[in-house]
Chain A
Amino acid sequence: MSLDVTNLKKVFVVGLFRRKEIQAVDNVSFNVKPGKFVSLVGESGSGKTTTAKMILRLLRPTSGSVIFDGKNVWDLKRINELRWYWKNVHAIFQDPYASYNPLHKIDRILYQALALIANQNTEGDSVVKKALTEVGLRSNDVLGKYPHELSGGQRQRIMVARCFIIKPKLILADEPISMIDASTRASVLQLFSKLKEEYKTSVIFITHDLGLAYYISDEIMIMHNGKIVEKGSPEEVMDNPQDPYTKRLREDVPLMYSKWIGF
């Protein structure tokens, strides 16, 4: 698995009469190696999600390229190629409520994942049950239920259970834990580490919380106004930030054992 993002750019044009160009993502380049946990950190509007959408083929870049395993993802046209891509690159989004169709039972989203790996007729049920056990859910508790009957944490775990079924090479997790309770955040985070350790899955973790990124990443990239302003290991970025924006971001994280100056 390798992901190479080179000079990625996205310009949004807004306004009907007075056209204004917004550089949402400005010349972003990075690569992700197998089994690495890379965090993309920045405030709202810094272009994190736009970058993710371009990698996921949800938004066409203005210029630049996204190369996954030697193939430019925007050149994939045929359904077989796309299936290959969907099988290998998986996304988890911020809102565990919006990721589900409220009219369908939980089972559907899991069996859809199973259909992607195409062995549903053999031991499909046991694969689903095993994936649910991996994320710490009992299949009796969730199967046959509707999304509204589950808590936010459970719903997000089911999204991760899909990853245990498909076993993608790369996961793009866009703020996966910012909408779930502080008390269950750690357990969902640990699932990503588990995927990384067991299947050598690479993860691109998008967050505004430098504290979280510090824990689980192998590399942190700080994004500001569409540009990556700093890159490095968690220790480098936290202990010795170079960019003024990183410094500010670091100071703004609320700490447990010390108080902010002036508070």
Chain B
Amino acid sequence: MNTLALGLKEVERVTLLKAEGVKAYYSIRQGYVKAVDGLDLVIDKGITLGVAGESGCGKSTLMNALMMNVKLPLHLIEGTIALDGEVISKMDRSMLKKKIWGVQASMVPQSALNALMPTKRIMDFVRDVIKHHLNVTDSEIVSMAKKRFEELNLRVEALDLYPHELSGGMKQRAVIAVSTLLNPKLLIVDEPTSALDVSTQKQVLKMLMELKTTGITESIIFVTHDIAVLRQIADYIVIMYAGKIVESGSTEDILHDPKHPYTYCLINAVVTPEPEVRKRGLTSIPGEPPDLINPPGGCRFHPRCVKAMDECGSVEPVLAKFRGNRLVACHLFK
């Protein structure tokens, strides 16, 4: 089903989010931490995009930049971000709060399920979100919330409970439901399942799929370090390393035929109970991710790369078209 849907999109692609030349740095005493360093990204309508990479590769920073949730010490140094044709990278915070966040695009950050105010019921969060944007009565808010929870197969009684009374999985699903109440076109979820066990993880992933099939959101960006999870829900995958995209393509292509040596390592580090995986055994990526204050010259992966050539230490590879909609940034594939 997915391949067919992707085939159609080749013809009638409609861009939802377009980010060009995004550089997002953290300013600290020692200099700039170049967490996102010159990155282009286009997300079409109807797509679930998976963003994968090790801790500290800039995944979460990129998401904050895409939402324009840029607060000190984070700076958006360069780049334009357009959401559905509207440039949001020039908007100020109050404008973003009024017109974009929660209405056009929503983000569920990594620690969202632990960040809920313990003295508030789920219904209070719903009220906060809706009252900020719409002028409606309380009974309307209650019926809106109930309707949405029913639509997503969540227990309606959960609305009257406090966060501590919900299980981790239920809390995460409630957070996602509340953040999509106003049908944002784009939903960004950052590691939504890494604190959950496999059974609740599946429920959360199922709900994300439902959000798209019921048309509540058009596109989803799913950030994770677990590629097996992306296999289940993503149409496209973007692999990040040290603040840059090293490879992107459809999920099938990336998993079955990884090109960039880093992607190859990342996929081989995944442990799933499958004969294919058992045959190749357990491997991991040697070394540590680089220091982003002074990233290595040339290709940023070259100190850890087994296929590194002389060129890799001096010339930085550009993200170039490899085949179809496949992009690779590596000197091996020019």
- Which residues of A approach B to under 8 Å, CB–CB? 43-44, 151-154, 181-187, 189-190, 208-212, 214-215, 238, 248-250, 252-260, 262-263
Contacts and interface: CB of A to CB of B under 8 A. Distances in A.
A186 B226 CA distance: 13
Give the interface residue-count category, chain B.
35 or more
A260 B230 CA distance: 12
B233 interface: yes
Contact of A252 (B198, B276, B282): B198
Top 5 A-B pairs ranked by shortest CB distance? A187-B284, A186-B282, A208-B197, A186-B284, A254-B228
Interface stretch (B7-15, B144-152, B267-275, B292-300): B267-275
Contact of A183 (B233, B265, B273, B277): B265
Contacts of A151: 55-56, 288
A214 to B, nearest CB: 4
B198 A185 contact: no
A260 B54 contact: no
9 contacts: A44-B167, A151-B288, A182-B54, A182-B266, A211-B272, A254-B272, A256-B231, A257-B231, A257-B274
Interface in B228-244: 228-229, 231-233
B225 interface: yes
Contact of B284 (A43, A184, A209, A214): A184
Nearest to B197: A208
A248 B198 CA distance: 10
Contacts of B283: 186
A47 B132 CA distance: 43
Contact of B198 (A181, A189, A254, A262): A254
B198 A255 contact: no
Interface string B186-204: 0000000000111111100
Contacts of A258: 274
Nearest to A184: B284
Interface in B218-261: 225-229, 231-233, 255
B227 A256 contact: yes
A215 B281 CA distance: 9
B205 interface: yes
A263 B205 contact: yes
B199 A211 contact: no
A254 B232 contact: yes
A218 to B, nearest CB: 15
Contacts of A182: 54, 225-227, 266, 269-270
A248 B202 CA distance: 11
A252 B255 CA distance: 20
A260 B202 contact: yes
Given A249-B198, A252-B202, A253-B272, A184 B226 contact: no
